[in-house]
Amino acid sequence: MDYKQSISLMVKGFLLLVFLSGCSEELSTGSKIEPESLEIIGTHTATLYYDMEIELEYGASGGDGVYRYRYIQNPDPEDRDEDEEFIFNPLELEVENNDAGKPSFSLKGIIKPEVGVAVEDLQTGTFSYQIEITDGKTTKVQTFEYDLQINKLALGTDGTNATEGVVDNNEAGKLLDFVKAGRAAEICDEIGTNLYEEKTLPNGVKVYPFVMKVTLDAPIVEPVEYFYRFESRYNEQFPERDKANIDLARPNVDFLVEERSIIFKPGQTACVVYVNLLDDAIVEGAEEFTLEFYDTKGALTDLGLSSHTITIADNEPLVFYDPKQVIRNEGDKVVGSFSLRTPYQHPVSIQVSIDQENTTASSDDYLLEPSNGVVTIAPGDLEASYSVSLLANNDSLDSEIDEIVSVVTDIDGFLDVTPYEITINEWPLTVADEIVGKEANTQKAIAIDVAESGVVSVLLEGFSVFDEEQAIVIGRHRDGTKKKLIVKYAKLSKIS
């Protein structure tokens, strides 16, 4: 970019009152001392923003103690180092001489964006300028740098973790404390006009505000308005507990879909945004949605990160559920239970259903109870359960494939458990499953019986701990599990 082009980018400065002191009082000291060399005191590597009221302060020393200062926006081409790439400095500043007790001065001004320039085309980066100091005898020029930035909106770092049914207005409270600390000019008007408290909407729904702090990097002289709304990737085409929706907050069920805006007036750098959370009775996991800053009006600023993720933790108690994979016979009943560690004041309901996709048994093979699938742990109770009864029916006898009943609940997903799976034994066993005898078994079988339910009872000849001959009846289901209360001991002589 050449010099002329750069000039065209020049940003207009707002001139402030200039108090250039023409004071030239002679220093009268008793003895003649060689003055030290002139020096501007100040370590400014300032970060400046568009539309910000700039005031850079410096001190001076050396010379005869009486100074004039001059701001040099861009050094003359002949004064510049030839190897150095010239970057036009768009900042116009005025000198304010504050020489009083101590020699000092300020540079004041505002850098405003050129009309019609888009945020992304605004110039940023490091620029240099010079200050000339003179005491009438000697003159010195010093070079300084500053970093030009675009003001940016930022969401507070205190987290975006909300809890269902809990009002969190701490950030608004902290900003209200600014008023007591005499910093009222820094906070936006919105904070004083809203209480951010739990309230009941005209439709009877209670909302719980979750308040987040937002800030601007620097106070500016132009007002700026930011528009925000809340969004979720929740897919209404799938049920609430579908895998596709499991971690996502549902609009108008978990949070209210609303759009609003906040205004930073000149000088204000802190404000809050808030979302109205809802409290449901659904047991669920942590769910996400996003806060989106989607538009801005007024001063040119950077929206920063336009999308921020907010997480809502559930306030229903944690339900324990331990689904199993079991093999059972027709006539058996399988019970799945849900439990709480401590009683809860509200009912907790879980929806249970047969997963048709993974169930191979037909509907006349089993009976799910309760039939509507809603299992409710009553207030104060610790447990509730459902059952699946395996019905005896006339299956085709040549079926060699065991049928499966898969039971799913709406909390499987966030508990991250494998659904309850019941395999119904089919009769007869496949050839591969038949065991005629075991080599290691030295007990002699005396009799065997197979009940209609599929329980196999075997009468064995054995010996007691006193080495007395005895009969042992063992009962087993076809899957090998022991049938309880059927193991009996008796003296063989009494049986035979």
- CB-wise, 164 or 426, nearer to Ca ion? 164
Contact yes or no for 16/108 (Cβ under 8 A): yes
* Stretch near Ca ion under the rule CB under 5 A, chosen from 90-98, 146-154, 263-271, 280-288: 280-288
The interface with Ca ion within residues 282-311 (CB under 5 A) comprises 282, 284
- CB-wise, 109 or 413, nearer to Ca ion? 413
Say whether residue 315 binds Ca ion (CB under 5 A): yes
- CB-wise, 126 or 235, nearer to Ca ion? 235
Say whether residue 194 binds Ca ion (CB under 5 A): no
> Among all residues, whose Cβ is closest to Ca ion?
254
- CB-wise, 316 or 332, nearer to Ca ion? 316
Q: Which of 186, 190, 222, 314 binds Ca ion (CB under 5 A)?
A: 314
Taking the CA of residue 354 as centre, how many other CA atoms within 13 Å lie in the half-sphere pointing to its CB? 21
Q: Which of 96, 254, 330, 403 binds Ca ion (CB under 5 A)?
A: 254
Q: Which of 51, 190, 222, 279 binds Ca ion (CB under 5 A)?
A: 279
Instruction: Please choose, from the candidates 20, 21, 127, 139, the residue with its C-alpha nearest in 3D space to the C-alpha of residue 84.
Output: 127
Residue 230 backbone zone (phi > 0: left; psi -120 to 50: alpha; other: beta) = beta
Taking the CA of residue 128 as centre, how many other CA atoms within 13 Å lie in the half-sphere pointing to its CB? 13
* Stretch near Ca ion under the rule CB under 5 A, chosen from 3-11, 56-64, 158-166, 261-269: 158-166
Residue 38 CA to residue 134 CA, distance in Å, equals 8
- CB-wise, 296 or 351, nearer to Ca ion? 351
- CB-wise, 164 or 171, nearer to Ca ion? 164
Say whether residue 410 binds Ca ion (CB under 5 A): no
Q: Judged by CB under 5 A, how many residues of this single chain contact Ca ion? A: 10
Shortest Å, Cβ 420 to Ca ion: 23
Shortest Å, Cβ 414 to Ca ion: 10
- CB-wise, 280 or 355, nearer to Ca ion? 280
Residue 63 CA to residue 138 CA, distance in Å, equals 8
- DSSP state string for 57-123: EEEEESTTS--EEEEESS--GGGS-TTSPP-------EEEE--SSS-EEEEEEEB-PPTT--GGGS-
Shortest Å, Cβ 348 to Ca ion: 10
Shortest Å, Cβ 200 to Ca ion: 16
Residues 6 or more apart in contact with residue 175 via CB below 8 angstroms: 187, 191, 213, 270, 271, 272
Torsions phi, psi of 119, nearest 5? -55, -45
Shortest Å, Cβ 247 to Ca ion: 9
Instruction: Please name the residue that has the structure tokens 């000291």.
Output: 29
Q: In whole angstroms, how far apart are CA 190 and each of 129, 174, 277, 372, 464?
A: 40, 14, 19, 49, 87
Residue 54 CA to residue 170 CA, distance in Å, equals 33
- CB-wise, 168 or 316, nearer to Ca ion? 316
CB atoms within 10 A of CB 360: 13
Question: What are the residues binding Ca ion (CB under 5 A)?
Answer: 164, 250, 254, 279-280, 282, 284, 314-316
